[in-house]
Amino acid sequence: MELIWFMIVAFMLVCYVILDGFDIGAGIVHYFVGRNDAERAAVIRSIGPVWDGNEVWLLATGGTLYFAFPALYAAGFSGFYLPLIMVLWLLIMRAAGIELRHQLEHNQMWTAFWDFVFALASILLAIFFGAALGNVIRGVPLNAEGYFFEPLFTHWGTTGETGILDWFTVLSGVVAFVALAVHGANYLALKTEGEMNERSRMVVKYGWFALVAVTIASLGAVMYVRPTLLDNYYSLPIGWLIPIAVAASLAAIYYFNGKGNDKAAFLSSSVYLAMMLGGAVFGLYPNVLPALDPAYSLTVHNAKAGEYGLSVALIWWPIGIIIALCYYRFLFKTFKGKVVVGEEH
Amino acid sequence: MEANTLDRIQFAFTITYHYIFPQLTMGLAPLIVIFKTLAIKKNDERWNEVARFWGKILGITFLFGVVTGIPMEFQFGTNWAVFSKYAGGVIGQTLAMEGTFAFFLESSFIGLFLFGEKRLGQKLHWLSAFLLFVGTWLSGWFIIATNAWMQHPIGYEVAADGSVHLTSFWSLVLNPWAIYQYMHNMGGAFVTGSFAVAALGAFYVLSKRQVEYGKLFLKAGVIAGCISSIWMLFPSGDLQGRMVAKHQPVTLAAMEGLFHSEEGAGIAIIGQPDMEKKRLDNSIIIPNALSFITYQRWDAHVRGLDAFPEDQHPDNIPLLYYSFHIMVGLGTIFIAIMIVAAFWLWRGRLYDSNWLLWILMLLFPFPFIANTVGWMVAELGRQPWLVYGLFRTEHGASHMVSSGNVMFTLLGFFGMYTVLTLLYIFLMLRCIEHGADELGISTQQESNL
């Protein structure tokens, strides 16, 4: 039962990262792809009707985590207190940037301000999310009661009194930043025409080299910081398909980008994100929040909720998600096609 | 200040601020469905303009509701970790269902409703308005069910590790407390929505701009406002009050300022609770009324605060007392004004009665106040418990998060929400300035392009 809910939460997290990932990514490359006011308006319009639904995956994942693994929710959210509250502020700023920009469409000062807010908040969010994942992989200073608290930074090392930010988690943040930039650029290439489309493809083309470099660097760093992550791979060798898929998806991004097949390139970067996360999740199991002192690690076994609650949710959860996927299909179908520069909202 | 106090202030502040927006969106959503229905049934483009105008207001308000709502779910974990570990297996369930069943629905159809009218056509556009309404009201249900479990916990068992486990899904989702609280709360949201529509209508008629739309707003707002404000007293308020009397009698005593148990207890209309002398100062009391309302007998025995041990008393009795009295007082005034306005509307005199239009216009902030103090009654009345009778508020906060860190984020929220407030007021004034008709012209221009 706990394995099922572990996989469900992982699935929802992957959905969140792929979906909100492309609109956060669009924010990262906002100024590269949109060179003037009308083009930046087109960037915003391309994510306008969908970003809110994408962000709902974060809330739905949070809610699912909350009832399936209450002890994890309690420990993780209070332990990452400062960065999570800052994430909230960034989410508020970013949403305002997206939705308020077009309220005064013809006021250049207004749109310039919100463009900046949107881009900045997107960049910081990508780095924060990456650093958060880095913390989970590195492990946190959980105590015997199952709680911890980390300041934003301490001595930048991965042992002893750790902070949210150290060399390893910053590296994870950079990986997330580059990966979402490429992913977002792929999305914009898919949704735009002409010069904007060309510039999006350029971002993917050059971003790709950075992505390969940081991916290799981060895999090496994981081996150094948490070598036990490989244990599951040795005991269940089918897991090695995941790193192979990471490599294959990287190659596919480059290939389809070169061919000008934006849809396939976007799907490839989606697979890349899913596999990177999947690889981490596969290695972590049964831990959900490893402790620096392994005796205090939170696992699916000691963090799960009651058996009845978990089984009854197995009935409503699939129903809800299937209905939600139907809305999604309808929404994306209604707003399919490319956005045109200069069109009114 | 201690961390626990700051955690409480931060949650109270962020939830109070947040609820300004959902009460308006939940109130406007059904009204917009009505506007769209009228437009299609009567084949009257003016009602479509009305729907578009309030849709724009709803869209902006919805955004503010979303961005201030995300912190609420997060804060259960960040600031109330011990409580979350204790009760997450139960209340996490309804919160997750809100995400899965309501948020996906709302977020998909708000986009379709706001930007999809041309692509969808009128029938599908009506359907998106309707599904948006269903989404916002479903969301309300899951939040009320979560709160109702904290007010009146049922369908659970205490597990070996001390946390609570769910034992009955339907008890959680269809908690009787939730049913009455939902009726009352959604009625309150509908009051806010209809009063806002009426107030803006009054403003347009008084300022002699957009008079035609102003009259439509007034007609819809006054009829809806009259029905909903009566609904708040009877049956929903009455039923909700009986739930409190039955399951939280000490809360009832504190709300009413009843310090001593009495046969034939009266209701205090006004008066200030004197906590030192245990009495109401300067009170005006309707004799025997409380006994009758609670137990339907004029001489029934009503337990006062002295019938309960002090450690069970709500920890801020005066604030609870005032919240309740402001809510009931405002609700009574709303009913009186709306009955007069509805009568004047029926007699065809409303649009020329400047004095009444002024009152309707100036009334618009008060439903927000009434809804806010209503929630304060529920939440202060639940104290000193986080989960009534089971888990005390003082034990719930994250003990690893220091008071300095909470102070930092609390100040951050103050700053962030001050900016949001300024933006919201600015955008609302702009919408009102543009009005319904100008929007219509710009839409036509767009479709001509």
| Inside any domain, residue A339 | no
| Inside any domain, residue B76 | no
- Does pLDDT of B446 surpass 50? no
| Inside any domain, residue B289 | yes
| Inside any domain, residue A108 | yes
- CA A272, CA A33: separation in Å to the nearest integer? 22
Q: What is the average pLDDT score of chain B?
A: 92
- CA A44, CA A113: separation in Å to the nearest integer? 14
- CA A248, CA A270: separation in Å to the nearest integer? 12
CB burial of residue B40 (10 Å; 0-12, 13-18, 19+): middle
| Inside any domain, residue B346 | yes
ipTM: 0.91
- The pLDDT, as a whole number, for residue B362 is 97
Please name the residue of chain B whose CA is at the shortest distance from the CA of residue A334.
B119
Query: Which of B12, B169, B189 lies closest to B94, judged by CA?
Result: B169
- The pLDDT, as a whole number, for residue B444 is 45
A328 vs B144: which has the higher pLDDT: B144
- Does pLDDT of A343 surpass 80? no
Domain count, chain A: 1
| Inside any domain, residue B292 | yes
| Inside any domain, residue A340 | no
Q: pLDDT tens, B79-100?
A: 999 999 999 999 999 999 999 9
| Inside any domain, residue B308 | yes
Residues for chain B: how many in total? 449
Cβ of B169 within 8 Å of Cβ of A48? The answer is no
How many angstroms away from the CA of B365 is the closest CA of chain A?
24
- The pLDDT, as a whole number, for residue B448 is 43
- Does pLDDT of B441 surpass 90? no
- Write out the DSSP string of A268-329: HHHHHHHHHHHHHHHHHTTEEE-BSSGGG-EEHHHH---HHHHHHHHHHHHHHHHHHHHHHH
CB burial of residue B169 (10 Å; 0-12, 13-18, 19+): middle
- The pLDDT, as a whole number, for residue B438 is 55
- DSSP class of residue B207 equals T
Domain encompassing residue B371: 232-400
Closest partner CB to A63 (pick from B67, B73, B412) = B73
A86, A114, A123, A151, B310 from A82: Cα distances, Å: 6, 25, 18, 7, 37
- The pLDDT, as a whole number, for residue A282 is 92
Q: What is the average pLDDT score of chain A?
A: 91
Domain count, chain B: 1
- CA B317, CA B251: separation in Å to the nearest integer? 9
Q: pLDDT tens, B258-304?
A: 999 999 899 999 999 999 999 999 999 999 999 998 888 899 999 99
A92, A193, A263, B28, B138 from A270: Cα distances, Å: 25, 21, 11, 38, 32
- In single-letter form, the type of residue at position A125 comes to L
Q: Which of A167-181, A285-299, B191-205 has the lowest mean pLDDT?
A: A285-299
Residues 103-122 of A with CB under 8 A from B: 103-104
Backbone angles phi, psi at B297, to 5 degrees: -135, 135
How many angstroms away from the CA of B319 is the closest CA of chain A?
29
- The pLDDT, as a whole number, for residue B360 is 97
Please name the residue of chain B whose CA is at the shortest distance from the CA of residue A91.
B67
How many angstroms away from the CA of B84 is the closest CA of chain A?
6
A45 SS3 class? helix
- The pLDDT, as a whole number, for residue A344 is 62
Q: In the structure encoding, which two tokens stand for residue B288, read together?
A: 């025997």
- CA A151, CA A141: separation in Å to the nearest integer? 11
Interface with A, mutate which of B166, B395, B439, B442 (most A CBs under 10 A): B166
Q: Which residues of B touch A321 (CB under 8 A)?
A: 100
Q: pLDDT tens, A238-297?
A: 989 999 999 999 999 999 999 989 999 999 999 999 999 999 999 888 888 888 888 899
Closest partner CB to B70 (pick from A59, A305, A317) = A59
Q: Percentage of chain B with pLDDT > 90?
A: 85
| Inside any domain, residue A344 | no
pLDDT band at A345 (very low <50, low <70, confident <90, very high): low
- CA A241, CA A193: separation in Å to the nearest integer? 36
Q: pLDDT tens, B173-186?
A: 999 999 999 999 99
| Inside any domain, residue B279 | yes
How many angstroms away from the CA of A3 is the closest CA of chain B?
16
- Does pLDDT of A209 surpass 50? yes
- The pLDDT, as a whole number, for residue A48 is 84
| Inside any domain, residue B368 | yes
Cβ of B166 within 8 Å of Cβ of A84? The answer is no
A222, A297, B125, B414, B419 from A139: Cα distances, Å: 11, 8, 49, 33, 37
CB-based contacts of B107: which residues, under 8 Å, 6+ apart? A52, A53, A55, A56, B66
Q: pLDDT tens, B310-322?
A: 999 999 999 999 9
Domain encompassing residue A264: 2-334
| Inside any domain, residue B331 | yes
A234, B97, B101, B318 from A308: Cα distances, Å: 34, 16, 21, 42
pLDDT band at B442 (very low <50, low <70, confident <90, very high): very low
Interface with B, mutate which of A50, A69, A80, A92 (most B CBs under 10 A): A92
- The pLDDT, as a whole number, for residue A276 is 93
